[in-house]
């Protein structure tokens, strides 16, 4: 283990399922998932009001916790175990918690509903780039539903309601099995029950009077419904400009309504288990969860919901890291932290340092292309004008990650990089399309220049922008061909038909002379044909010093982009 790193395991003892995640974290609190495990325990089954943990449920829980402990110990992880509604509401919870301690050797923290809600919010902030937004988070569990309004890492409002897919399935047992199909009266009774609890809790008024920018859902019920909806979209015969597999983990109110109708139309659990995209293990409890989610959409007036892959267990990790490292700021820089973690995971030699320097050069080139000597946009290429700060961030991220495939093999490493970026679980805060863009950029940063067809799966509005980002990235990576950061800066001078890249060599500390950058210049010149094709200008590269730059460089900084150095290691 790297000095200063710690390994943590968090266990969420849910009413329906037990989850464990094992992570490795550094001193800054940045963590990588090492392992995860899930077991459907149904701790709340057999008790309609969750008032008792039955002996069968207790035995299943103990067996699962023993397996989790073995896995955590194999990773030398420090374990933290938390329990939610099934345990906190059980009259025999003290006996159960004592038995877990005596038989398994684990201390269980029984969370209060508000505490659970806040930890879920912390988990969501580590997965999605929404720290500076006011968000509504809805987490439907087996025994309770947590609803949180938060901004900048602080909950504005949080509550825990006694509504959950296992709880309501126990209270309305016919939801699981009806040979003649679900009775309309039964669904209406469930809806009335849900509406009464929502109304009495005061949560509807709180949500409707607090403006929020995005609604986010987490945990199994919502993830299962999203998977079902996504499966229907990706297998649709409808022609779309964008590959449906690149759609975000998000669904609309209309899509939810159609999914609920399909779920309720199935007569038995066996039929629901065969619904494409729906996890079979949730077939007997999905009706209650789906109807509950639709009622929440109606009550709050939601039009869509984004799905978070992180929830309570990751929130427990975040909380533990915050207590361990005083400087840790959870959720603030999710995207940059995940890029750093992935680059560090596959770092070989000093490639990461070189990649970060290339990323700086890429941002300099892009900023220069978006301005001219007068500071106006008179000579700015049309395609350069399309790019914004979000695109610059993606360009920087892709450049930092371009080398990761070398971890597998130097030969065709750009193809290995594509696979790693596209399939990793470590890129948090990026949409599905953004991850596809990152993967395409690392794939085509070298070797044969890509044709337009290579980007055909992307939305039409993104294709030209990605081509421009690719052209800039190819030059920027070439300008650090020797991985020595020999080029200090790149200045851009452009006219109607030409672009000049004036590179300023860094100074060799040993000799006091500028570095020889002839190899870097040669490598970058090989990338100019594609650069010229995309920006529709003749391009050339010259070596300059400070005096030359005064005559060549753009005097005004770009109005669109800030020239911030990539986050240091």
Residue 472 has which token pair? 């800039």
Strands of the sheet with 6-13, listed across from one edge: 31-40, 17-25, 6-13, 78-83, 108-110
pLDDT at 72 > cutoff 80: yes
> What's the confidence (pLDDT) of residue 170?
85
pLDDT in tens, 304-333: 999 999 999 999 999 999 888 877 777 777
Indicate if 129-307 has the same CATH topology as 6-111.
yes
Which CATH number among 3.10.20.30, 3.40.50.300, 1.10.3210.10, 3.20.20.70 corresponds to the domain 336-559?
1.10.3210.10
Q: What is the mean pLDDT of residues 161-174?
A: 88
Q: Decide if 12 contacts 39 (C-beta within 8 A).
A: no
Q: What is the mean pLDDT of residues 156-175?
A: 89
Q: What are φ and ψ of residue 19, in 5° steps?
A: -125, 145
Q: What is the mean pLDDT of residues 61-84?
A: 96
pLDDT at 237 > cutoff 60: no
> What's the confidence (pLDDT) of residue 459?
86
pLDDT in tens, 247-290: 568 999 999 999 999 999 888 888 899 999 998 888 889 999 99
Task: Name the residue with higher pLDDT: 559 or 417.
Answer: 417
Q: What is the mean pLDDT of residues 546-565?
A: 47
Which CATH number among 3.65.10.10, 3.90.1150.10, 3.30.420.40, 2.10.109.10 corresponds to the domain 6-111?
3.30.420.40
Instruction: State what percent of residues in the chain have pLDDT above 90.
Output: 63
Confidence class for position 381, pLDDT limits 50, 70, 90: confident
> What's the confidence (pLDDT) of residue 29?
81
Q: Which residue has the tokens 């700015």?
A: 380
Confidence class for position 348, pLDDT limits 50, 70, 90: confident
Can you give the C-alpha Rg of the chain in angstroms? 27
User: How many other CB atoms are found less than 10 A from the CB of residue 188?
Assistant: 10
- Give dist(CA 460, CA 312) in Å, integer: 37
Q: Decide if 331 contacts 131 (C-beta within 8 A).
A: yes
- Give dist(CA 363, CA 476) in Å, integer: 9
> What's the confidence (pLDDT) of residue 552?
55
Domain ranges of the chain: 6-111, 129-307, 336-559
Q: CB under 8 Å to 182, separation ≥6 — which residues?
A: 174, 175, 264, 267, 287
Q: CB under 8 Å to 163, separation ≥6 — which residues?
A: 140, 144, 145, 194, 197, 198, 292
Confidence class for position 495, pLDDT limits 50, 70, 90: confident
Closest among 35, 26, 25 to 67, alpha carbons compared: 35
Confidence class for position 376, pLDDT limits 50, 70, 90: low
Q: What is the mean pLDDT of residues 63-79?
A: 96
Residue 537 has which token pair? 């200008």
Confidence class for position 426, pLDDT limits 50, 70, 90: confident
> What's the confidence (pLDDT) of residue 239?
43
pLDDT in tens, 432-442: 889 999 999 99
pLDDT at 392 > cutoff 70: yes
Q: Please state the CATH superfamily assignment of the domain spanning residues 129-307 in this structure.
A: Exopolyphosphatase. Domain 2 (3.30.420.150)
């Amino acid at each position: 283990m790297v000095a200063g790193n710690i390994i943590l395991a968090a266990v969420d003892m849910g009413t329906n399922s037990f989850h464990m995640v094992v992570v490795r974290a550094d001193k800054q609190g940045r963590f990588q998932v090492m392992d995860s495990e899930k077991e459907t325990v149904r701790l709340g089954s057999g008790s309609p009001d969750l008032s008792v943990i039955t002996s069968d449920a207790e035995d299943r829980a103990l067996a699962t916790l023993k397996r989790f402990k073995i896995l955590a110990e194999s990773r030398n992880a420090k374990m933290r175990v938390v329990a939610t509604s099934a345990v906190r509401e059980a009259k025999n919870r003290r006996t159960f918690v004592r038995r877990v301690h005596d038989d398994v050797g684990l201390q269980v923290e029984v969370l209060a509903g508000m505490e659970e809600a806040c930890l879920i919010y912390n988990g969501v902030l580590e997965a999605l780039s929404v720290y500076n937004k006011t968000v509504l988070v809805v987490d439907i569990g087996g025994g309770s539903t947590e609803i949180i309004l938060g901004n900048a890492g602080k909950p504005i409002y949080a509550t825990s309601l006694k509504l959950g897919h296992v709880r309501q399935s126990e209270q309305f047992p016919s939801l699981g099995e009806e040979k003649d199909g679900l009775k309309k009266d039964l669904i209406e009774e469930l809806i009335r029950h849900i509406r009464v609890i929502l109304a009495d809790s005061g949560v509807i008024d709180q949500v409707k009077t607090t403006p929020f920018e995005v609604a986010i859902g987490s945990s199994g019920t919502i993830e299962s419904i999203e998977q079902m909806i996504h499966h229907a979209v990706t297998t649709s015969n409808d022609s779309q400009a964008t590959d449906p597999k690149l759609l975000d983990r998000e669904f609309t109110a209309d899509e939810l309504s159609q999914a609920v109708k399909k779920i309720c139309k199935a007569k038995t659990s066996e039929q629901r288990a065969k619904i494409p995209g729906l996890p079979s293990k949730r077939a007997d409890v999905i009706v209650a969860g789906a109807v509950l989610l639709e009622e929440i959409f109606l009550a709050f007036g939601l039009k869509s919901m984004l799905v978070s892959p992180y929830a309570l267990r990751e929130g427990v990790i975040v909380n533990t890291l915050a207590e361990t490292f005083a400087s840790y700021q959870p959720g603030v820089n999710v995207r940059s932290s995940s890029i750093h973690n992935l680059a560090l995971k596959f770092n070989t030699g000093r490639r990461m340092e070189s990649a970060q320097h290339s990323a700086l050069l890429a941002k300099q080139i892009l900023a220069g292309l978006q301005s001219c000597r007068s500071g106006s946009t008179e000579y700015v290429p049309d395609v350069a004008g399309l790019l914004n700060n979000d695109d610059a961030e993606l360009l920087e991220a892709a450049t930092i990650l371009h080398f990761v495939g070398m971890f597998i093999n130097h030969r065709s490493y750009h193809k290995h990089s594509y696979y790693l970026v596209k399939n990793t679980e470590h890129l948090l805060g990026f949409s599905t399309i953004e991850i596809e863009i990152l993967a395409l950029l690392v794939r085509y940063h070298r070797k044969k220049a890509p044709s337009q067809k290579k980007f055909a799966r992307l939305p039409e509005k993104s294709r030209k922008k990605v081509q421009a980002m690719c052209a800039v990235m190819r030059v920027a990576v070439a300008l650090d061909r020797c991985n020595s950061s020999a080029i200090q800066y790149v200045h851009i001078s452009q006219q109607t038909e030409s672009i000049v890249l004036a590179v300023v060599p860094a100074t060799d500390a040993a000799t006091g002379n500028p570095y020889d950058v002839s190899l870097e210049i040669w490598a970058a010149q090989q990338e100019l044909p594609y650069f010229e094709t995309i920006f529709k200008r003749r391009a050339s590269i010259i070596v300059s010093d400070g005096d030359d730059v005064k005559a060549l460089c753009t005097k005004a900084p770009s109005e669109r982009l800030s020239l911030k150095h990539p986050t240091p290691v």
